[in-house]
Amino acid sequence: MLTADRLSLNTATVKEQWNLAECIDGAARHGLGGISPWRDKLQEMGVDAAAQAIRDAGISVSGLCRGGWYTAEGALTQSVLDDNYRAVDEAATIGAACLVMVVGGLPEGSRDINGARQIVRDGLAKTLEYGRKAGVPIAIEPLHPMYAGDRAVVNTMSQALDLCDELGDGIGVAMDVYHVWWDPDLQAQIARAGKSRMLAFHICDWLVPTSDLLTDRGMMGDGVIDIPGIRAAVEATGFDGLNEVEIFSAETWWKTDPDDVLTTMIERGRMC
Amino acid sequence: MLTADRLSLNTATVKEQWNLAECIDGAARHGLGGISPWRDKLQEMGVDAAAQAIRDAGISVSGLCRGGWYTAEGALTQSVLDDNYRAVDEAATIGAACLVMVVGGLPEGSRDINGARQIVRDGLAKTLEYGRKAGVPIAIEPLHPMYAGDRAVVNTMSQALDLCDELGDGIGVAMDVYHVWWDPDLQAQIARAGKSRMLAFHICDWLVPTSDLLTDRGMMGDGVIDIPGIRAAVEATGFDGLNEVEIFSAETWWKTDPDDVLTTMIERGRMC
């Protein structure tokens, strides 16, 4: 059972309804423990203004979404690196627990997934170096294999943790049940991550059927993921961060009154 | 480069246009090496009549799709087992190189993926026992993780090969590039499979974007999968079976003249 103060609102969950100021206010009004902004919302509000509003609201920041996308220009360009340095700075300014990395898919026109993975590795090394100086942990988010083509070529916990082992301190994983629930190796990899590498934990649900690869995630309890089982494994590592709710839902939750979305999140959290 | 005689037509590729008799005739007319029927088409034609027509056409049968679905009734019932025994018998009658197993997803209302995997393991053991007597190799098809909820809880080559190691001789994998291309561990697992476990090899492509989880597969060359690279690894094991083309494509290939589909398959095979 998760109480409201153990939940964090990822702004993507109400992205069509609320700007960041409204998300901060809503999270505080509903008694949530924190928030996790996407960068577009953060920049729209202004990073310093957002940092102040978050402090005033007395909530924490479970992550900043997102850095990464290293493959966007087909090679590791300075502009891609610079955008990630800015993301680190923004994460530091708002006191985010980590910068969540969606690493990028195959470059346009490419079929070279191994090459893309090498670009990602090199990019993460650069961002990590900068993140260490800024005191911002870098959290690789392994994305579901159905996004390997267009969003992220890091697709399992095992692969993400291999990268962490290679790159050293200051880097870990942001684990979303949506991306990893199917993995036969999940329990072992959660244990392998341990408290030091488990930087963020995201929850939502996998709907059956799923009507869209990107925008048909479910509210906790509406799908087939054993969230309490996965959460127990995560907490067994010593993880004591927030449970961040990130739901892309074009047809349901993005069309619902956002206060009702938060009320539902809190109700369903009690069953997680 | 694949010549036509190295290709097999999975009947799903033209399922909306042709019945099995037409598929057999079409495969032979276009000089394909073989065919792989789905059971609904096979039963519609009649198993003995189909066997005769396939012999008369002088083509081989790269597999029968499909056995499995062990979780359909929430437990391993006799009716589920019996249906798999019938599938083995059908595969034997048509001289199929293997019986392809789509093992089944979560039982209705269940969130217990480990329990479902246990049902599948027990079911495979029973079918394998029967398959050994009939001389029909059992081929586990690991399905893409996006099907873990509703189609198959075996989702990686590693998991399928662990099952094979546990169950012994007479069982292997049917590997479809669509399901496994994203796997960071793919090359190692293909080598692990070796010739003895690699019972079938299926090709198609992953489209970016993909508009539907089930019925938007691409023709080879239209997507992002490095088919020649994967095929080279498969053939390095000694695999010398046919390259079976299985494309679920509601909006494109199921709406195309089936002779044009086969012509395109053959053209694209030259680039694989």
The residue of chain B nearest to residue A215, with distances taken between CA atoms, is: B211
Domains of chain A: 4-269 (3.20.20.150)
Q: Note whether A110 contacts B224, CB cutoff 8 Å.
A: yes
Q: How confident is the model over A211-242, as pLDDT tens digits?
A: 999 999 999 999 999 999 999 999 999 999 99
Q: What is the pLDDT of residue A1?
A: 87
Q: Give the chain B residue whose CA is nearest to the CA of A112.
A: B226
- Percent of chain A clearing pLDDT 70 (strictly above): 100
Chain B residues in contact with chain A using a Cβ-Cβ cutoff of 8 Å: 105-106, 110-113, 117, 144-146, 148-150, 153, 155-156, 158-159, 181-185, 206, 208-210, 213, 223-226
Residues A80, A145, B241, B235: is their CA dihedral positive or negative? positive
Residue A208: which of B150, B208, B224 has the nearest Cβ?
A: B150
Residue A107, classified by CB atoms within 10 Å of its CB into exposed (0-12), middle (13-18) or buried (19+), is: middle
Determine the Cα–Cα distance for residues B249 and B247; give it in Å rounded to an integer.
Answer: 6
C-beta atoms of B226 and A146 within 8 A: no
User: What confidence tier does B117 reach under pLDDT thresholds 50, 70, 90?
Assistant: very high
Phi first, then psi, for residue B92 (nearest 5°) are -65, -45
Residues of A with CB under 8 A from a CB of B: 105-106, 110-113, 117, 144-146, 148-150, 153, 155-156, 158-159, 181-185, 206, 208-210, 213, 223-226
Sheet with B243-245, edge to edge strand ranges: B60-61, B34-36, B7-10, B243-245, B198-203, B171-176, B138-140, B99-102, B64-68
Cβ–Cβ gap A145/B150 under 8 Å: no
The answer to whether B183 contacts A145, with C-beta atoms less than 8 Å apart, is yes
Find the farthest-apart pair of alpha carbons in chain A and give their distance in angstroms, rounded.
Answer: 48
Question: Which residue in chain B is spatially nearest to A212 when comparing CA positions?
Answer: B212
DSSP per residue, chain B:
---GGGEEEEGGGGTTT--HHHHHHHHHHTT-SEEE-BHHHHHHH-HHHHHHHHHHHT-EE--EEEEE-TTTTSS--HHHHHHHHHHHHHHHHTTBS-EEEE-B-PPTT---HHHHHHHHHHHHHHHHHHHHHHT--EEE-PPPGGGTTTTBS--SHHHHHHHHHHH-TTEEEEEEHHHHTT-TTHHHHHHHHHHHHEEEEEE-B--SS---TTTB-B-TTSSS--HHHHHHHHHHTT--S-EEE---BTTTGGGS-HHHHHHHHHHHHTT-
Mean pLDDT confidence for B98-107 = 98
Residues of B within 8 A of A156 (CB-CB) are 184
Nearest to B148 among A111, A156, A182 (CB): A182
Q: So what's the pLDDT on residue B104?
A: 98
Q: Is A213–B208 a contact, with Cβ atoms under 8 angstroms apart?
A: no
pLDDT tens sequence for chain A (272 residues): 899 999 999 999 999 999 999 999 999 999 999 999 999 999 999 999 999 999 999 999 999 999 999 999 999 999 999 999 999 999 999 999 999 999 999 999 999 999 999 999 999 999 999 999 999 999 999 999 999 999 999 999 999 999 999 999 999 999 999 999 999 999 999 999 999 999 999 999 999 999 999 999 999 999 999 999 999 999 999 999 999 999 999 999 999 999 999 999 999 999 99
Element (H or E) spanning A46, and its range? none
pTM for the whole structure? 0.98
Using the predicted structure, report yes or no on whether residue B163 has a pLDDT greater than 90: yes
pLDDT at residue B116 in the model: 98
Name beta bridge partners: A123: none
Position A225 scores a pLDDT of: 98
Task: Sort out which chain B residues have CB atoms less than 8 A from A224's CB and list them.
Answer: 106, 110-111, 149
Residues A45-52: contacts with CB under 8 Å, at least 24 apart: A45/A19, A45/A20, A45/A21, A47/A90, A47/A93, A47/A94, A48/A93, A50/A20, A50/A21, A50/A24, A50/A94, A51/A93, A51/A94, A51/A95
Mutation to test the A interface, candidates B110, B113, B204, most A Cβ within 10 Å: B113
Could you tell me what percent of chain B has a pLDDT over 90? Answer: 100
pLDDT digits (tens, 9 = 90+) for A29-59: 999 999 999 999 999 999 999 999 999 999 9
Mean pLDDT computed over B55-65: 98
| Cβ contacts of B210 on chain A, cutoff 8 Å | 146, 149, 213
* Chain B residues with beta carbon closer than 8 angstroms to that of A150: 208-209
> Is B136 within 8 Å of B96 (Cβ atoms)?
yes
Decide if A210 and B146 are in contact by the 8 Å CB cutoff.
yes
The reply to whether residue A210 touches residue B149, judged by beta carbons under 8 angstroms, is yes
Of the candidates B169, B235, B229, B161, the one whose C-alpha atom is nearest the C-alpha of residue B201 is: B235
| Tokens matching residue B203 | 């090709």
Please name the helix (run of DSSP H) or strand (run of DSSP E) that holds residue A7, with its range, or none: strand A7-10
